[in-house]
Structure 1
Amino acid sequence: MVAACSRADEGAPPNVLLIVADDLGYSDLGCYGGEIETPNLDALAAGGIRLTQFYTTARCCPSRASLLTGQYPHRVGLGHMTQDIGRPGYRGRIDPAAKTVADRFSGAGYRCFLSGKWHLGTDDPTRHGFERFYGTLVSAKTFWDPDHYLSIPADSERSPPAGLPQVETNDARSFYGTDALTERAQQFLAAARTTAERPWFLYLAYNAPHFPLQARREDISRYAGRYHVGWDVIRRERLARMKRLGIVPDDTDLSSRSHYWNYGQTRSGTNPPWDDLDPDRRQDLARRMAIYAAMVHRLDWGVGQVIGNLRQAGELDNTLVIFLSDNGACAEWDPHGFDIKSSNQNILHRGEELDRMGTAGTFHSLGSGWANACNTPFRLYKHFCHQGGVLTPCIVHWPAGLRASQGSLVHAPAHLIDIVPTLLDAAGIDVSRRSESEFPLAGASFVSELNREPAVPRTIFLEHEGNRGVRRGRWKLVALRDEPWELYDLMTDPIESKDLAKTNTEIVRSLSAAWDDWARTNQVTPLPDDYHVDYLKAQ
């Protein structure tokens, strides 16, 4: 498939840079319609390809399991998070028999590095194919504390990368997690170049813009006045830009404001109109979104630093760069967001308190109203299998290996399980031979589709916390936990607004039977009665 246009035939397989954002919404980037300034990712998109129907698993741990193994997450023990709930698909850690893409790349002579978030339930990424690791083993609890980040091997004694001093002030010189991951990634590139004859694989897994919402003051200031117009205006503006960019069809409607479910399911409702909120609440929420935007902006800056590093080294043309998010934006848990920790606790900030938001010692979330805007034009968010929870941006850039026109859009569906076979295909690594105990790859390379060859018909399956879905062609069957199946024709209704289940019973029967078969085969069912988390009641 890709051999005709890759450097593998010339004896120089591509380097691979896999960049992942954490809880980034579908429409946050400028090149996907957002108002956040993301010039570096926009440039990658302009020189590469954007996928508009790229599916994840709706949550961070499962998505990382699929991303790195090429398997559906339950198949490798990470159907939920890192709690072991005593079922094969839900052991809370990656199955020891599961090969990661780093295992495969290192076996083929690549040097493999990870800067960022691991979150696969084990305590040492270097046992899974990576030569060196810097970052967090779980979700970030703070972006300001260098002790929250560790190195394996411990050659730096958990110190921040060179040039980032350990100071606690919130100024441009202070330690900041996103910057630390960016700089350590560049140090790993320098290490890789000491063996120039060997290609490298760098997994750059940012924590941003996952809560806690924390950002540099200068970046927050850039967006401090942008979001007082509210989420209703932002959603309309984003959809208009998305149509101009071709991300969505011109006749796409804006979904209704999404439903939300509060922590512990103590309260539920629908995101309110922005203008119905009192002025103090609007000030607080506008500041939260400004901090979120600042985090995305800084992530984009970091991507620019790494891409500039590759360009300066003459490596950019034959480096396969893929950028994506692990799921849709995070609504936890209601329109107001939370403070201090993930819970029902919310603090309404006023006056001078607004200026302290996002600094060291603070802890905020975005809330469901803004998350709904980040996932424009779709319904729902992270945790759910409706489009807002599972569709994310996906940018592919590889000048030496892609024939498609720069700036192209690919509308064929793809999934995280396709990333490993795509990377291996691009590198010319044959995975047809495997041991009897080795899991076969569940996905398929999409290199040919990127090069404008016809898409291969396929079915994509989804499940998280009892929320479930299946996509086949134009049809998507989807359901909330304990609720009946809904059926949508995504060709005419991409926002899942017109449920056709009652009038297309044969399609429902066929797709639900396919989901049942997939679920049995991949250790998804029987679904757990208790996920061992406070926000989901045991059944």
Structure 2
Amino acid sequence: MKTRSHFAARLLPLLLAITVFAVVEQARAESPESSRQSNPNIVLIMCDDMGFSDIGCYGGEVMTPNIDRLANEGMRFTQFYNNAKCTTTRASIVTGLYPRFGKTHLRRNMVTIGEVMSAAGYKTTLSGKWHLGDGKDTHPYYRGFQSFYGLLDGCCNFFNPRQPDPKYKGGRVRNFAINDTPLHEFPENYYTTDAFTDHAIKAIHNADDAKQPFFVHLTYTCPHYPLHAKPADIAKYRGKFKMGWGQMRKDRWKRQQAMGLVSDAWSLTESDSRSYSWESADQDFEDHRMAVYAAMIDSMDQNIGRVLKTLEETGHDKDTLVLFLSDNGGCAEEPGGRDPAKRNPGPKEDYVAVGPAWGWAQNAPFRRYKTWLHEGGVTTPMIAWWPDSIPANSINRDVAHIIDLMPTFVELAGTEYPQTFDGHEILPVEGISMLPLLQGKQREGHQQLAWYWSKNRAIRQGDWKLVWDKLNPDKKWELYNIANDRCEVKDLAKEHPDRVAAMAKDWFAWAEEMEVKVKPENSSKAD
């Protein structure tokens, strides 16, 4: 008969093995590697018409503790490019393609990120601004986003999206919807920035309940005009912009230098052809409208804090990639003018913009602004946050572009970019995955990047950038060495005529492929 001690001797190795296995599994569970979900959730946040240097972690004065947290715990990019315009940027982000300039930017031979991620098993949501159409082929709800809430147009009243635009802006009533159902009524205390966040948070909870990964594209309309903000947020910033746009640029430049975001070898541009004198301006009015603009960004930051809190509450703060960027540089448009007797920034009854002087300053240290293709128009702040997977408090100086987002998400989702979709042959993706960059590694980048909007042109090859500015009175290409002169101060076109000719030829070849209708360049005509 076997003794109790005999069974104990047989059982002891088994118990020891179980204990060791449990310890190993616990250690693995607590390790950074295990916290990385193989197919992470993705929250892609994009704001509208915000300048390169407006947020705190890029040198700005606005209080953005939540966005700054993303930067401190994640990665900031210094050479991340957009398309300088709302529609073209959105087209590239959702397709991974350069924008085509025919009848529409979004077509059936293009697959959207919503469609790709849905096919990969993600719950997909777009909350905010769409601006790519509302037909069967162009509506977000019919192009892969299982849930849509927001603005199908380009801008709207923040307190009442169905309030008609003023006559000087065309008097339009903006198109707002939930899924494919138009919305006509909004509650008394409505504010778009809050409502877009509410819908994004609901989408995260719904995906968590369904135990599915989620792709949430949160596209704020702020700080695009009209300048609408809550009185309490505006009050934080009144009087803080009395330094004027020129000094604001210099102050931001110094902070950017201290942060290591810019090179001391660059020279700050001193003026802009569409700016005007601070000394002769109505400084109280100018301070007021910039204060409202700052308040809009402040409100967005508060709402991004709500999203981060939701990720923590649902246990998805470690398996979610959060990206933040702007669709183009600060905006120089000024519908309705700047007469203080006629314009009142802040409340829903008026419709005000910041104008060209502030719009230029918001992109410090770069030249120009939205719709222009100098660095101020096409460079966006871009932050990537994914705890334990992206190096904390890191700065990435590699060149990347919004067309790179699609292939990055495809790789993270563990899926393939399709050759055909819904019976249509699909154009090949033109972006390159950024996953190596997010991991702190190198990648083979683009041989060239190119842009077009409203007669403005640009192409970048390596450190060289060729620019055609429609306001240049000489109607000639400008050439800059971006490595030495990111602020585009010294035009080197006369010193390198062969390079100018070769790059211009490459731009026209690209433009033809993108269906840009421009005349061959000659000595006197820009288009």
Query: By the TM > 0.5 criterion, same fold?
Result: yes
Equivalent runs, 1:164-203 vs 2, <5 Å: 166-167=187-188, 174-196=189-211, 198-203=212-217
- Structure 1 Cα separation of the partners of residues 292 and 256 of structure 2: 23
Cα distance change on mapping 1:432 and 1:182 into 2, 3 Å: closer
Is 1:408 the equivalent of 2:413?
A: no
**Pairwise CA distance, 1:434:** 4.6
Aligned 8 A contact 2:35 2:318 in 1: no
Shifted more, 453-462 versus 494-503: the winner is: 453-462
Q: Kindly provide the CA deviation profile for residues 328-387 of structure 1, in whole angstroms up to 9, marking residues without a partner as x.
A: 00001xxxx443xxxxx44224xxx88x53102110010010011100011111011001
Aligned 8 A contact 2:419 2:426 in 1: no
Secondary structure at the aligned position of 1:236 is classed as helix
The residue number in structure 1 matching 2:151 is 136
The alignment's TM-score, normalised by the length of structure 1, stands at 0.83
Secondary structure at the aligned position of 1:477 is classed as strand
Amino acid at match of 1:18: L
- Structure 2 Cα separation of the partners of residues 239 and 246 of structure 1: 11
Is 1:243 the equivalent of 2:257?
A: yes
Is 1:425 the equivalent of 2:452?
A: no
Quick one: which of 253, 271, 276 aligns to 1:272?
276
Amino acid at match of 2:49: D
Q: Kindly provide the CA deviation profile for residues 74-117 of structure 1, in whole angstroms up to 9, marking residues without a partner as x.
A: 1xxxxxxxxxxxxxx23135112211001000011111011100
Find runs of 4+ consecutive structure 1 residues off by over 3 angstroms: 5-10, 146-149, 156-160, 432-436, 525-528
**Pairwise CA distance, 1:430:** 2.1
The residue number in structure 2 matching 1:257 is 271
**Pairwise CA distance, 1:159:** 5.7
Aligned 8 A contact 2:459 2:466 in 1: yes
The residue number in structure 2 matching 1:533 is none
Secondary structure at the aligned position of 1:414 is classed as strand
- Structure 2 Cα separation of the partners of residues 106 and 422 of structure 1: 15
Secondary structure at the aligned position of 1:496 is classed as coil
The residue number in structure 2 matching 1:80 is none
The residue number in structure 1 matching 2:372 is 384
Aligned 8 A contact 1:151 1:158 in 2: no
The residue number in structure 2 matching 1:325 is 326
Question: Highest Rg: 1 or 2?
Answer: 2
Is 1:92 the equivalent of 2:93?
A: no
Amino acid at match of 2:201: Q
- Structure 1: tracts of 5 or more residues without a match: 75-88, 161-165, 168-173, 261-270, 340-344, 529-537
**Pairwise CA distance, 1:527:** 6.2
Quick one: which of 436, 459, 476 aligns to 1:470?
459
Root-mean-square deviation (CA), in Å? Answer: 2.3
**Pairwise CA distance, 1:506:** 2.2
The residue number in structure 1 matching 2:488 is 496
Shifted more, 452-461 versus 108-117: the winner is: 452-461
**Pairwise CA distance, 1:257:** 1.4
Amino acid at match of 2:117: F
- Structure 2 Cα separation of the partners of residues 313 and 158 of structure 1: 33
Quick one: which of 358, 365, 368 aligns to 1:370?
358
- Structure 2: tracts of 5 or more residues without a match: 1-31, 163-173, 521-525
Is 1:311 the equivalent of 2:312?
A: yes
Shifted more, 427-436 versus 313-322: the winner is: 427-436
- Structure 1 Cα separation of the partners of residues 273 and 105 of structure 2: 31
Give identity over the alignment, percent: 36
Cα distance change on mapping 1:447 and 1:93 into 2, 3 Å: closer
**Pairwise CA distance, 1:36:** 0.6
**Pairwise CA distance, 1:184:** 1.4
Aligned residues: 470
- Structure 2 Cα separation of the partners of residues 497 and 526 of structure 1: 27
Aligned 8 A contact 2:65 2:301 in 1: yes
Cα distance change on mapping 1:399 and 1:434 into 2, 3 Å: farther
Shifted more, 323-332 versus 228-237: the winner is: 228-237
- Structure 2 Cα separation of the partners of residues 416 and 192 of structure 1: 26
